[in-house]
Amino acid sequence: MIILGIETSCDETAAAVLQKDGDRITILSNVVASSADLQAKYGGIIPEQAAREQIKAIIPVIEESLQVSGYSGQEIDTIAVTYGPGLIGSLLVGVETAKVLATVWGKPLIPVNHLLGHFYANWIQAEHLRGEAEMTPGTHLGGETPSFPCLGLLVSGGHTDLVLFTDHGKYTYLGGTRDDAAGECFDKCARLLGLPYPGGPQISKMVQKGDPKKFKLPIPMKGSKDFDFSYSGLKTAVANLIKTLPVIPSETRNLSRMRVPNESGDPSLIVQDDNILADLAASIEEAIVTSLVDKVIQALKAYPVKNVMVAGGVAANQKLVHNLKFEIRNLKLEISLHVPPPTLCTDNGAMIASAAFFEKRRTDPLKLQADPSLSLTNPSF
Ligand code: KG4
Ligand code: ZN
């Protein structure tokens, strides 16, 4: 079975062709075009601009994904597309393109919830990415895929959710963020530090030289008995902390990083010392990662399952994977941790195609509607 997966929920335009042989899902092609350079310039995503870039990119991206896979549009079996959640203009680009292609090529169309799609990156056996996986502690690439029951942590730019899967498409929602998502917190804190969008990878790059214990930041929701998260308070704590640090006008300094206006609206001031910046970045990462790992361990004590999977852009964070692996091993319960390789953590078409292999439902291509507010608690189409 061959599926073309299309993903345009946020600022990426992505298409991939995947093959399923028995239990084995492999990537034949995986093409991602990002307008991240534009977002970096403006310090974040401008929805209309993202959609305009996606309109330009969608056909070339799909064409390239088919060409690399060696299959024509007529030869694939099925088309899968993200229909929500996300930015409405962006979703429409993928959904309307998929509807037209499914109709013209006479193929079934499978709508995929983007959030579930992230989890299905864990079912891809991407052997050509094995080198990358080996650098990521805790991954099981090319080896075993998750089995049920499985605890799932989704950590993306817009979502932070804990879910207990009992089978494909069957899950109980345990909790989620009450305000900002973990990725959003990385992005907003990076912006406060004067780092470009997306902030998560930028903060991760800076932490090597930083001391994570240097600044005492609050660990969000520490000690709360539920499975919820909250990150807006951490961002405020970072903003308040920065006000106490020595700052200089940004133009007096030769910056290796790009300067963007910070949230306080003052683009002219910047934390003076690179060492302090590195310490701040490390302390922010420490607080976010600790809160995520604490909740996973708390959930494992309440629901003693043998499989845990992580998904979403923040799953590309090496400290998160390392600390999760360490704390899970400390439980001494022989639990397997599944994390996709970094390129499959951030938005891509491969995860959408992978999810579609397990989706039994089909939709009339002409009736499918994009749903920007789709969530894990209203998973209908
Ligand atoms: O899943 P994703 O690609 O898009 C959404 O569906 O939202 O996630 C993007 C998020 C951004 O907030 C980005 O800063 C974060 O993932 N991210 C990271 C890392 N790589 C991407 N956060 C922390 N460390 C990283 N290495
Ligand atoms: Zn995503």
Q: For 10-45, how does the pLDDT look when each residue is reduced to its tens digit (9 = 90+)?
A: 989 999 999 999 999 999 999 999 877 776 666 677
Distance 225 CA to ligand 2 centre (A): 27
Contact 29 CB / ligand 1 (< 6 Å): no
Q: Is residue 204 within 6 Å of ligand 1 at its C-beta?
A: yes
**Whole-model pTM?**
0.91
Q: How far is the C-alpha of 161 from the C-alpha of 227, rounded, in Å? A: 9
Cβ 85 under 6 angstroms from ligand 1: no
The reply to whether ligand 1 has any atom less than 6 angstroms from the CB of 316 is yes
Would you say 286 and 212 are in contact if contact means Cβ atoms under 8 Å apart? yes
Kindly state if the Cβ of 30 falls inside 6 Å of ligand 1: no
Reported as a single tens digit per residue, the pLDDT across 175-191 is 999 999 999 999 999 98
The CB of 200 under 6 Å from ligand 1? The reply is yes
d(CA 20, CA 379): 24
3 state SS of 31: strand
In what side-by-side order are the strands of the sheet with 150-155?
170-176, 160-167, 150-155, 307-311, 336-338
pLDDT of residue 263: 46
> Which atom of ligand 1 approaches the CA of 285 most closely?
23
Query: Which helix (H) or strand (E) is 299 found in, with range?
Result: helix 274-302
Confidence of residue 77 (pLDDT cuts 50, 70, 90): very high
Q: Give the percent of the chain with pLDDT over 90.
A: 74
Ligand nearest to the Cα of 312, by number: 1
CA of 186 to the centre of ligand 1 (A): 8
313 lines ligand 1 (CB under 6 A): yes
Strand 109-113 and strand 78-84: the pairing is parallel
Confidence of residue 108 (pLDDT cuts 50, 70, 90): very high
pLDDT tens, position by position, 119-152: 999 999 865 554 444 444 344 444 589 999 999 9
pLDDT of residue 254: 42
How far, in Å, from the CA of 314 to the mean position of ligand 1? 4
Distance CA 28, CA 364 (A): 27
How far is 48 from 54, CA to CA, in rounded Å? 10
Report how far ligand 1's centroid is from the alpha carbon of 198 (Å). 7
Interval between CA 159 and ligand 2 midpoint (Å):
8
In whole angstroms, give the CA distance from residue 181 to residue 170.
Answer: 24
Q: Determine which residue's CA is closest to atom 21 belonging to ligand 1.
A: 313
Q: What is the pLDDT of residues 239-291, one digit of tens each?
A: 999 888 876 555 544 444 444 444 444 444 566 678 888 999 999 999 999 99
| Residue 211 CB neighbour total at 10 angstroms | 14
Q: What is the Å distance from ligand 1's center to 286 Cα?
A: 16
The answer to whether the CB of 90 is under 6 A from ligand 1 is no
Q: What is the C-alpha R_g of the chain?
A: 21
Q: Say if CB 109 and CB 368 are below 8 A apart.
A: yes
- The Å distance, Cα 213 to ligand 2 centre, comes to 30
Ligand 1 centroid vs 347 CA: distance in angstroms? 9
Q: Are 32 and 19 in contact (CB under 8 A)?
A: no
Whether 117 lines ligand 1, by a CB cut-off of 6 Å, is: no
Q: What mean pLDDT comes out for the span 297-308?
A: 96
Q: Does 260 or 196 have the greater pLDDT score?
A: 196
Q: Which residues share a beta bridge with 164?
A: 151, 172
Q: Which residue has the least CA distance to atom 20 on ligand 1? A: 201
Residue 379: predicted pLDDT = 60
Ligand with minimal distance to 196 CA: 1
| Residue of 10, 180, 186 with the most ligand 1 atoms within 8 Å of its CB, for mutation | 186
Q: What is the pLDDT of residue 260?
A: 45
pLDDT of 354: 98
196 lines ligand 1 (CB under 6 A): no
Q: Is the CB of 199 under 6 A from ligand 1?
A: yes
Among 32, 8, 184, smallest CA distance to 89 is for: 8
| Residue matched to tokens 């990537």 | 27
How confident is the model at residue 272, as a pLDDT? 62
Cβ(314) – ligand 1 distance below 6 Å: yes
Q: How confident is the model at residue 41, as a pLDDT?
A: 67
How far, in Å, is the centroid of ligand 2 from the Cα of 12? 9
The Cα angle at residue 312 between residues 31 and 149, in degrees rounded to 5:
115
Query: Of 119-133, 231-245, 367-381, which gets the smallest average pLDDT?
Result: 119-133
Which ligand is in closest contact with the Cα of 159? 1
